[in-house]
Amino acid sequence: MDIFRVFDSLNYLPNMLLGMEAVGAAGGVVEAAISYTGDVSDPMRQKYSLEYYLKLADELVKAGTHILCIKDMAGLLKPEASRLLVGALRDRFPDVPIHVHTHDTAGAGVAAMLACAEAGADVVDVAVDSMAGMTSQPSMGAIVACTKGTKLDTCGELLNERCVFAGIVLDKVFDYSEYWEVARGLYAPFDCTATMKSGNADVYENEIPGGQYTNLHFQAHSMGLGNKFKEVKKAYVEANKLLGDLIKVTPSSKIVGDLAQFMVQNNLGRAEVEEQADELSFPQSVVEFLQGYIGIPHGGFPEPLRSKVLKSLPRIEGRPGASLPPLDFKALEEQLRAAHDDDITPEDVMSAAMYPKVFQEFKEFTSNFGPVDCLSTRLFLDGPKIAEEFEVELERGKTLHIKALALGDLNKAGQREVFFELNGQLRSVLVKDTVAMKEMKFHPKAQKSIKGQVGAPMPGKVLEVKVEVGAKVEKGQPLCVLSAMKMETVVNSPLSGTVKAVHVVPDSSLEGDDLILEIEE
C-alpha cells in the first residue's frame, strides 16, 4: 500500500497535517482529501463556499500533498458545482493531480463525474456496474461508455482500431461486473436494496453520507424506529443545524445521526432540544464532540447549546491528540498476550490501540465460537437449513462433516437444544434464542408524570450503573451508561435527591422508556 488518503471529518487542518506528515515520513504518497458538503453553485449557501474550499486546498498543497482529493461522501456534487469546484482547483494548481470521490445516492453521480473530468479531474472513483448506484459509487460501465470516442476515452490511444496499451474496455467491464454480481448475492443480508429500492434525491437536503445511509436505516430498525426512518432523515437535518451545520463524514456523521435518532426516540424538535439541553441525557458522541474530542468545526461550536450540555465538563482546546500521552505499544502487546494466551498478531495490537472495546468483543466472540472464518459466507450470516450437510475445513487435512438435524423447544432460560451430526456422531448443544428472549422479557416503564422515575432515553444494553440505592445525587449527575448499535448514552439525573430504587444491572437489555431507577427529592 503506497497511496494514503488523509481526511478529517471537520476538515480540521491540525488533524490532517499530522496524518500527512506521518505518511510522508513513511515514504508514502500523500493524498490529502477535502471533505465536501453544501453546494458551491448555490449563492444562498455561503458557509462552505468556493473560497472556503480553495483556501483549504492552498493549505494542503503548501503542506506538500502529492494528490489533491475531493471527498464527496454524500454525493452532493451536482454537475454545475463539479465544474465550478474542479475548474477552480485546476486553474489554481495546474500541476497537482486531482482525484474525485463521490456516491450515487441521488442518481446524478455519472453526470457529476463526467463534469469533473471535463473540468480537469485526473481520476474519478466508480464501482463496477453490478455493485454501483445508490449509496455506492457511479457505474464504471456508464462512465466508460459515455467517454468512448471523446478526449476522455478510457480505452487509451487508438491505433488500427485497437488499444495499443492496457486501458478500460467496455467488454472487460461486462465480464468484471458478471463476477461481482454473483459475489454480491452472498452478502444479501447487508445489501442496501433490502432497505433502499432506488436513488433518493432527498440527500441534497439531509446530506447523509453514502457510507452512513444504509447503516443508519439498519440502526433505526434495531432501535425500533424502522417505521420512522422518514422522521429520522428529517431529524438529521435539524440535528445538523443544532450542531452548527457540520461537514458530515465518519465520525462527525455518526454524531449527527446519534442526535437525530435521540430526537425521534424522545419526540423532540430542534427548539425543544435547545430549550431543554441542560436537562437531557444526550448520546455520549454528542457530548464528546462538544467537548472538542474530534477537533474544532469550521465556524466554531454552537452556543448556547454547548454550554448548556457541557456545564462543568472539561473542554479540549486545539488538536485533541496533542494532549494525549504517548502510547506504549510494547506494554499493550504484553497486556494482550497475558489476556489472550499469546495468540496476538501486530494487527491485533493496532486494533486494540484504536478500538479497544470492539477488539475485546471480537476476542470474546472468537473465544466463544471458535474459528468462524472457516465457515462460508452464507453459513456464517444465515446458518444452515435443517437437514443440510456441509463441510468445514479447519486446516489442511482436518475437515469436519456436519449435518443440521433439528431445533428443540424453548426452555425457561431462553435456550433451545440444537441437534446435529458431527462426523456421523449425534451431538447437541444449548444455544440462546436471542429473539425469543427479547419477546419474553418484561420490564416496568417509567411514568413520565412521576418526576423521580428515570427511563431509558432509547433502547440499549446497560454498560455501567454508577449509583446505588441510598446514594445522594445532584441534578445532571451521571446515573448509568447505555449502549445501542455503537451509540453510547450517559443517563443523567433529572433532579437532586436520593436513589430510592435501581431496576437494572450491567448487561440488562432495555427498550425505550424502560424504568432504570427512582429518585426521591
Give me the residue spans of the domains in the chain: 3-192, 208-322, 329-363, 377-438, 443-520
Q: Which three cell numbers stand for residue 147?
A: 467517454
Q: Which three cell numbers stand for residue 296?
A: 474544532
Contact 239, 266 (CB under 8 A): no
**CA-to-CA distance for 48 and 57, rounded, in angstroms?**
13
Return the CATH superfamily for domain 208-322.
Conserved carboxylase domain (1.10.472.90)
In this structure, the strands spanning 478-484 and 29-35 are unpaired
In CATH terms, is domain 443-520 a member of 1.20.200.10? no
Residue pLDDT, tens place only, 23-40:
999 999 999 999 999 999
Q: Which three cell numbers stand for residue 390?
A: 456441509
**CA-to-CA distance for 148 and 101, rounded, in angstroms?**
21
pLDDT string in tens for the chain (521-residue length)? 899 999 999 999 999 999 999 999 999 999 999 999 999 999 999 899 999 999 999 999 999 999 999 999 999 999 999 999 999 999 999 999 999 999 999 999 999 999 999 999 999 999 999 999 988 999 999 999 999 888 888 876 544 454 444 578 888 889 889 989 888 887 776 676 556 778 889 999 999 999 888 888 878 877 778 788 899 999 999 999 999 999 999 999 999 999 999 999 889 999 999 999 988 889 999 999 999 999 999 999 999 999 999 988 999 989 999 988 899 999 999 999 998 877 789 999 999 999 998 899 899 888 888 888 888 888 887 788 999 999 998 888 889 999 999 988 888 777 889 999 999 999 999 988 877 665 556 678 888 778 889 988 888 888 889 999 999 998 888 899 888 767 788 888 888 899 999 998 888 888 888 899 999 88
DSSP 148: T
**CATH class name, domain 3-192:** alpha beta
Please tell me whether the peptide bond between 356 and the residue prior to it is cis, using omega within 30 degrees of 0: no
**CA-to-CA distance for 469 and 491, rounded, in angstroms?**
16
Nearest alpha-carbon partner for 69 in 20, 132, 134, 14: 20
Q: Report, in angstroms and rounded to the nearest whole number, the Rg of the chain calculated over CA atoms.
A: 26
In CATH terms, is domain 377-438 a member of 3.30.70.3450? no
**CA-to-CA distance for 34 and 96, rounded, in angstroms?**
14
| Dihedral sign of CA atoms 211, 213, 217, 222 in order | positive
Return the CATH superfamily for domain 329-363.
Homeodomain-like (1.10.10.60)
Give me the phi and psi of 454, to 5 degrees please: -105, 120
Residue pLDDT, tens place only, 217-270:
878 877 778 788 899 999 999 999 999 999 999 999 999 999 999 999 889 999
E-assigned strands of 107-245?
123-124, 158-159, 162-163
DSSP string, 348-395: HHHHHHH-HHHHHHHHHHHHHH--GGGS-HHHHHH-PPTT-EEEEEEE
**CA-to-CA distance for 252 and 297, rounded, in angstroms?**
10
Beta bridge partners of 480: 465, 491
pTM of this structure:
0.82
